[in-house]
Structure 1
């Protein structure tokens, strides 16, 4: 595979490239968890409609000229449903059940997963819902597809799996209000991750003015900023995962009357649209497919530096080994490590006046 290739996407479309499957002549196809890539460009795929919750991946699909729709949009069933299931098993099972809901009578569902991300288990799960499958392997990935379907082979199991990634209340005394709403597949969906907890432990109470949370997830850092920083007059949450952003909206709903809140489905690495007095962030360091991407954290730091007012403050937490010091030193007038524990570091960076 060449650099920048997407083995799972290439393998997903392998049955169409080698003639094992034919692209539908009418009715098109729905691609759940779609990603842009060469495999979608080198052959005609008429009627293809894509869904994607990640803002960077959605923008890449748009740049490639592909049709995007939101999950909540109504549409007819399709004779073909493609999907790249996520690694998180409950979310993947819910997506398999949804794929069967979206396929037209007589249609097929085609899925692909990398071997290291549970391809064998994913194949077994789809077989439980849909019956016997055909399978091909290439690029350390496995593509598997159903026979022509008239409905789930196990309707009761499909009905149960539809609910597996539904939002749910999770009790935690460390969260204002005693708990939060989350769902499988979101980062640290059922817990407060150790890095964010360390940042909150050292977060000062004197943050004030216009504040932003970059990579806000389901809203934990933003909730703590509002709980402990009375001088905050407005708070913007930036998050690339649409599912996480909706959870943050729900978790911060009670705070909305007190402080103006805005929720941005946005790729922070492309920059921010306005200036801030302070920014907090626990930036991601993995791409959508799970590959390490320390450049994402560096891009978050650069975006924060460009968006802060003179004298503005960035409070950042990161894995201790990640090489962020060079971009911090180049972007800020003052940088200090506030705490290091359990493999994480908390940094305060001040933009020069």
Structure 2
């Protein structure tokens, strides 16, 4: 069991009734709660959603709170300060004055900073500090009205050869305030991507998907991400730029294994974080197995930090890997499957 969950169990007597666990660790916490506690879970991570589904837990996946009622909530501190603001605002909008919201996190994960975000909503008390973690209690003394999801998005403009795009990025989504360097390096090469059925793996706020739509309105784009806030951001970005929604399909995935088959191209600025931890599994698996999802002659386009060994992994799968660009610490990598001559006839 994770240290954060152990701290919750240590302070178990504070919990009662229907308890919503927000951003909970994938461990044995649920099985260690008392039988009189009715626990439910809210997550926006599709991997975690599937983990709790397999446990037959009452779990909700999405950007919105579950519709079912709850008496208390336990928030496991997310990486993003803005995302915590969103969570707190929505929880307080649903709970009566005097209700308890608990905050749990690691010191290295910023729990002390996060605890200060509780203060506008009521009285805060530190309940525990152990195992490099802290647990805080907020007793609410106010209520708020929930705001529409669109009001939580930040906007910034991206210049492209096909015209300017306005990007809508929700709290917690990668590169929420500005275009990241990797995607900026990749963008000029997207006009070389073959048209057709294209997957944007790790779509984030939808920069790549939106530009691919602008380049060719006949492209069919699959925006794939593990994060519900990323999928919602991509949809908002399409709507903001009046791009055809019939061109877009947003899909929650655990990894590239959930991508459609017979794609003309996969384009990715692949993810490498799981919470506050660095995790290259998803992007390495993409390099190793993307070929299975491409049709004959299909293309793989990736931008990645130049120090990563992705070219070798791609070569092992595709027999070749071309470096299209190497600048500002990033490489644009390209590979394609061998065309089947029978298909061309």
Per the alignment, do residues 164 and 113 of structure 1 end up closer, same or farther by CA in structure 2, a change over 3 Å counting?
farther
Correspondence for 2:103: 111
Pick from 66, 70, 82: which aligns with 1:90? 82
| Cα deviation, residue 105, structure 1 | 5.0
In structure 2, which of residues 128, 153, 159 is the aligned counterpart of residue 136 of structure 1? Answer: 128
Q: Identify if the C-alpha distance between structure 1 residues 239 and 132 changes in structure 2 by more than 3 Å, giving closer, same or farther.
A: closer
Correspondence for 1:329: 315
Q: Decide whether aligned partners of structure 1 residues 106 and 131 sit closer, same or farther in structure 2, where only a CA change above 3 A counts.
A: closer
Q: Is 1:267–2:258 an aligned residue pair?
A: no
Say which of 54, 67, 74 aligns to 1:74: 67
| Equivalent-residue separation in structure 2 for 1:243 and 1:227 (angstroms) | 22
Give yes or no for the alignment of 1:256 onto 2:244. yes
The answer to whether the Cα contact below 8 Å between 2:20 and 2:74 also exists between their aligned partners in 1 is yes
CA drift at 1:186? 0.8
Equivalent in 219, 228, 237 of residue 242 of structure 1: 228
Give the Å deviation of 1:199.
0.9
Deviation at 1:138, TM superposition (A): 2.0
1:220 — aligned with what?
Answer: 207
Q: Of the candidates 302, 317, 321, which is equivalent to residue 316 of structure 1? A: 302
Question: SS at the partner of 2:270?
Answer: coil
Q: How far, CA to CA, are the matches of 1:13 and 1:100 in structure 2? A: 24
User: 2 CA distance for matches of 1:311 and 1:164?
Assistant: 39
Corresponding residue for residue 188 of structure 1: 175
Does residue 351 (structure 1) correspond to residue 337 (structure 2)? The answer is yes
CA distance in 1, matches of 2:318, 2:232: 32
Say which SS state the counterpart of residue 283 (structure 1) adopts: coil
Q: Which runs of 5+ in 2 are unaligned?
A: 340-345
Work out whether 1:40 is the aligned partner of 2:42: no
* 1:145-164 matched pairs, under 5 angstroms: 145-147=137-139, 149=140, 151-152=141-142
- Distance change >3 Å, CA 10–CA 352, structure 1 → 2: farther
For residue 343 of structure 2, what is the aligned residue in structure 1? none
Aligned to 1:171: 157
Question: Gaps spanning 5+ residues in structure 1: where?
Answer: none
TM-score by length of 2: 0.87
Kindly state the Cα deviation for residue 327 of structure 1 after the two structures are TM-superposed. 2.4
Residue 342 of structure 2 is matched in structure 1 by: none
1:238–1:265 CA contact under 8 A, matched in 2: yes
Match of 2:292 in 1: 306
The CA deviation at 1:73 is: 4.4
Give the superposition deviation at 1:269: 4.1
CA offsets 1:83-131 (integer angstroms, 9 cap, x no match) = 1132222221232232323334543111112212221121222134221
- Partners of 2:86 and 2:171 within 8 A in 1: no
Q: How much does 1:163 deviate?
A: 8.6
Contact 1:35 1:61 in 2 (8 A): no
Q: Secondary structure at the match of 1:252?
A: helix
The alignment partner of 1:216 has SS state of: coil
Note closer, same or farther for the CA distance 1:221–1:64 as it changes in structure 2 (3 Å cut). Answer: same
By how many angstroms is 1:72 displaced?
5.1
Q: Shift of the alpha carbon at 1:53? A: 0.7
Q: Find the counterpart in structure 2 of residue 29 from structure 1.
A: 19
Cα distance change on mapping 1:339 and 1:10 into 2, 3 Å: farther
What's 2:51 paired with?
60
- With structure 1 as the length reference, what TM-score do the two structures score? 0.85
Q: CA deviation at 1:206?
A: 5.0
C-alpha RMSD over aligned residues = 2.7
Deviations 1:305-343 (Å, cap 9, x if unpaired)?
A: 210112211000111122223321221132111111122
Shift of 1:164: 11
